Structure 1
Amino acid sequence: MLRVGLSGGIGSGKSTVAGRLAEHGAVVVDADLLAREVVAPGTAGLAEVVAAFGGDVVDSDGVLDRGALAARVFSDDSARATLNGITHPRIAARTAEVIAAAPADAVVVHDVPLLVENGLAPMYHLVLIVDAAPDVRVERLVGRGLAEEDARRRIAKQASDAERRAVADVWLDNSGTPDRVLSVVDELWADRLVPYEANIRLGRYASGPPKVVPYDPTWPEQAARVAARISLVAGDRRIEHIGSTSVPGLAAKDVLDFQLGVSSLEEADSLAPALAAAGFPNCGPLTDTARHGELAEWTKRVHAGADPKRRVHLHVRVEGGPGWEWALRFRDWLRRDAVARQEYRDLKLDLARQHAGDAHGQAYNQAKEPWMVAATARMDAFYRDGQTS
């Protein structure tokens, strides 16, 4: 099962995207609909709302007057917290029920208006954010009957574009006509969502040839999103963004490398099922190339990302062990030593051209090894000489 979080500001046209995904076969869980369901006439949720806010928040038929309730809580943080305390647990419980009832091979799209505001992004394999220019959003809201001043006030109360971009794996611009965003959604479904779901269900990970690309300044932001998902599964264990994508300005394969610290490899094995369910299937026990010490000390577990459009390698190592320390030292050395960084960049670009047909990068890695051996000696000298500032 693939869990997709869908959100966007009021008036962005999120429902257009949700509807198209449903047409493709996605199981759409609409948080707004569930919010209405848990306070429907006769429910315990509605009774608790009335007890908290009074009988004037229901109409003569006993139906919640959402406008009257909104007027009470919109500008009152305490009242809004009270309402959220009544409805959110009930919505969460119903959401869990609906998702549990979905088929094992489903693409579940959770349509959540306050996904960003409530910090829910790490719960999903992928987050889609629908956006539109502010004036377009205001025009749409006015067309629904809101006064312009009210529309702008509601937009200002929600998450900012910067906050939404920080969690967005996919940014869908819906400022134009519906057909434009719908064509993007069609492509997204076929090229990413469907294969992503299959990869998770079948325990497969994304791979490809060693294509080295120029440094992407968005890699740190992408890494932060992936790290948040790993952290949710791994608890308080230490996660580090390592490898070439963690070195500013360095050309690299478009693969985000992380290491996750554990106290033992047995602990690493215990985390494997949860990591796989989160989109990082196990690639098996592997051994790092030993740079110092006994080979057995460099054993690790490796997971890789199932997302076909965002390759990830996750190295699960004993924290403080030789493999863990070497990865951090190498990253930090390249960050500080401009000459070494340039050499490594040139080497990677040259070897990537030579081994463009190497499907899994094995020949590329072997050809890189002599430089890595020499680089380790240089790195050790760098730290030994105290050049760490």
Structure 2
Amino acid sequence: MLRVGLTGGIGAGKSTVAARLAEHGAVVIDADRIAREVVEPGTDGLTELVSVFGEHILTAEGALDRSALAATAFADDAARERLNAVLHPRIAARTAELMSRAADDAIVVHDVALLVENGLAPNYHLVLVVDADEQVRVQRLAETRGMNAEDARARIAAQATTAQRRAVADVWIDNGGDRDAVLRRVDAVWADRLVPFEAAVRQRRPRPAQPPVLVTPDPEWPEQAERALARVRAVAGERAVRTDHIGSTAVPGLPAKDVLDLQLVVPELADADALAEPLSDAGFVRVPGEWYDHSTDGESSWEKRVHVGADPGRPVNLHVRPADGPAWRLAVLFRDWLRAVPEEVVAYTQLKRRLADDHRDDADVRAYADRKQPWITAAFTRAEEWAARSGWSVTTR
């Protein structure tokens, strides 16, 4: 299934987005609803809360008095930890149960208010963030919850910042204006991104080859790369020796194809093969066949594995390389050398533009890449010389 995280600050209106996605057929799992379910009258969750905090957290009817619980459970960090120890395992178990019921081709939308605050973003194939201007949110909270402006702003301030949410957002949905415009935006995300993304993961369908088209450097490339790398690390776990954003999109000011090149270094190729299915499940589909990096002398080659991102909205190449080979170090060296030597960026840009123009009608980038390789091979020598002069060491980066 495709796992989509949906979040947004209080008053942003993510329920509007969740409802629209449900209309399209998404399986929506509401974390707030689950949190209420696990402490309903008659549940062991409520029984344990009473055991921990006392009978005074119950209403006369035997239901949970949320105000009384909050006054006790949020009095100090120790009390909050006791509350979390009761709630979090039950919420997690119920969430897993609901996800397990979803069909193999389902698009599961997990509606989580504190997705950012709890560091959950890497667990999803995609994260959607719903936002609105603070004044709009304050007004909504006054109208829907009777909250005064001071309390509303305090609640907003206690949550993740806009910058923190942007850092994890694969899709940003502005819900501060016309409702129909928001619904059209959600419709487009569903049709153009979520549906093809799910199909590509389930069918293990690599991204189709494309001709080499260079674009102006995007300042958001590094942030997009970090989101993807966080997902890679979440899958690879202890097998990840290191992860890197490499290639042209990792060099400020360098025109590039709008495809992020990422690197996962594992102890040996057997680890890469063990991760083939987990990475594919996470949206990085293994590309069949044999893949090699060229040596600096142009005579030998080093084996690797290649995965590509299945997200149609963010093309990614993931190179999985063994730690006992030299290729991963050269990839990092080449990136850092270009970042440090502007004249080499100019020379590389000129080469890339000329070759991209020569191969603009090609079905894919292989001929373009092959013609770049002699320059890159020679550049490795200059990069090593720079490393020796500057004291660069991959272990310090």
Say if 1:385 and 1:68 are closer, same or farther in 2 by CA, change over 3 A.
Answer: closer
Whether the aligned pair in 1 keeps the contact of 2:296 and 2:378 (CA below 8 Å) is no
Instruction: Work out the CA distance in 2 between the residues paired with 1:388 and 1:263.
Output: 23
Q: How far apart, CA to CA, are the structure 1 residues paired with 2:75 and 2:147?
A: 17
1:65 corresponds in structure 2 to: 65
Distance 1:109-1:184 versus aligned 2 partners, 3 A rule: same
Q: CA, structure 1 residues 133+274, in 2 after alignment: closer, same or farther (shift >3 Å)?
A: same
Q: Which residue of 2 aligns with 1:325?
A: 329
Shift of 1:227: 0.8
- AA aligned to 2:222 is P
> In the alignment, which residue of structure 2 is the partner of 1:378?
382
Amino acid across the alignment from 1:201: R
- Residues 121-154 of structure 1 deviation map (CA, whole Å, 9 limit, x = unaligned): 0000101111111111111111121222221111
Q: Report the AA paired with residue 213 of structure 2.
A: K
8 A Cα contact 1:300 1:317, kept in partner: yes
**Distance of aligned partners of 1:367 and 1:71 in 2 relative to their CA distance in 1, 3 Å threshold:** same
Q: TM-score, normalised by structure 1?
A: 0.95
Q: Does 1:228 align with 2:230?
A: yes
For 1:299-314, list aligned pairs within 5 A. 299-314=303-318
Q: Which moved more, 1:367-376 or 1:163-172?
A: 367-376
How far does residue 383 in structure 1 lie from its aligned partner after superposition?
A: 3.5
Residue 26 of structure 1: aligned partner: 26
Structure-1 residue corresponding to 2:248: 244
Q: Deviations over 1:291-346 (max 9, x none)?
A: 238635x1111111110111111111111512112212211111111111111112
Among candidates 361, 367, 371, match of residue 363 of structure 1: 367
Q: Decide which of 212, 215, 224 is 2:214's aligned counterpart.
A: 212
Q: Does 1:3 align with 2:3?
A: yes
1:36 corresponds to which residue?
36
Secondary structure of the 2:294 match is coil
Question: Paired residue for 1:198?
Answer: 199
Counterpart amino acid of 1:10? I
Q: Secondary structure at the match of 2:15?
A: helix
- 1:132·1:173 contact (CA, 8 Å) conserved in 2? yes
Contact 1:336 1:388 in 2 (8 A): no
Structure 2: segments with no counterpart, 5+ residues: none
In structure 1, what is the equivalent of residue 131 of structure 2? 131
What aligned pairs does 1:88-103 form with structure 2 within 5 A after superposition?
Answer: 88-103=88-103
Could you tell me which residue of structure 1 aligns to residue 106 of structure 2? Answer: 106
Alpha-carbon distance, 1:260 to partner: 1.2
Match of 2:300 in 1: 295
- CA distance in 2 between counterparts of 1:133 and 1:75 reads 31
State the SS of the aligned residue for 2:212: coil
Deviates more, 1:223-232 or 1:53-62: 53-62
Q: Is the CA contact 2:22–2:28 (under 8 Å) kept in the aligned structure 1?
A: yes
Distance across 2 between alignment mates of 1:146 and 1:88: 28
Question: Greater shift after overlay, 11-20 or 345-354?
Answer: 345-354
Residues 4 and 124 in structure 2, CA contact (< 8 A), matched pair in contact too: yes
- Aligned pairs, how many? 388
- Verify: 1:117 aligned to 2:121, yes or no: no
Structure 2: distance between partners of 1:151 and 1:50: 30
Task: Assess if the C-alpha contact under 8 Å between 2:20 and 2:183 holds in 1.
Answer: yes
Aligned-pair CA distance for 1:194: 0.2
Bigger Cα displacement from structure 2, 359-368 vs 23-32? 359-368
- Check whether the contact 2:297–2:377 (CA below 8 A) recurs between aligned residues: no
State the Cα deviation string for residues 223-268 of structure 1 (Å, max 9, x = none): 1111110001111311111111111221111111111112221121
Please list the CA deviations of residues 195-229 of structure 1 after superposition, one character each: whole Å capped at 9, or x if unmatched.
Answer: 00000001113243322111111111111111110
User: Is 1:340–2:344 an aligned residue pair?
Assistant: yes
2:294 alignment partner AA: T
Distance 2:196 2:352 in 1: 29
Q: TM-score, normalised by structure 2?
A: 0.93
Q: What is the rounded CA distance, in whole Å, between the counterparts of 2:269 and 2:93 in structure 1?
A: 35
Taking only the aligned residue pairs, the percentage that are identical comes to: 58
Residue 71 of structure 1, CA deviation: 4.0
Q: CA 1:335/1:89 → structure 2, altered by over 3 Å: closer, same or farther?
A: same
Residue by residue, what CA displacement relative to the aligned partner does 1:26-62 show, whole Å, maximum 9, x if unpaired? 0000001111110011000011112222223222222
CA distance in structure 2 between the aligned counterparts of 1:131 and 1:260, rounded to whole angstroms: 33
Matched position secondary structure for 1:94: helix
**Paired letter, 2:57:** V
Residue 82 of structure 2 aligns to which amino acid in structure 1?
T
Q: Which moved more, 1:52-61 or 1:86-95?
A: 52-61
Question: Is 1:141 paired with 2:146?
Answer: no
1:78 is matched with 78
- Amino acid aligned to 2:307: H
Tell me: CA distance 1:116–1:385, structure 2 relative to 1, closer, same or farther (3 Å): closer
Give the 5 Å matches for 1:169-184: 169-184=170-185
Q: Distance in 2 between matches of 1:64 and 1:388?
A: 60
8 A Cα contact 1:292 1:322, kept in partner: no
- With over 3 angstroms needed to count, the CA separation of the structure-2 counterparts of 1:15 and 1:74, relative to structure 1, is farther
SS at 2:62 equivalent: coil
CA contact (8 A) 1:205 1:307 kept: no
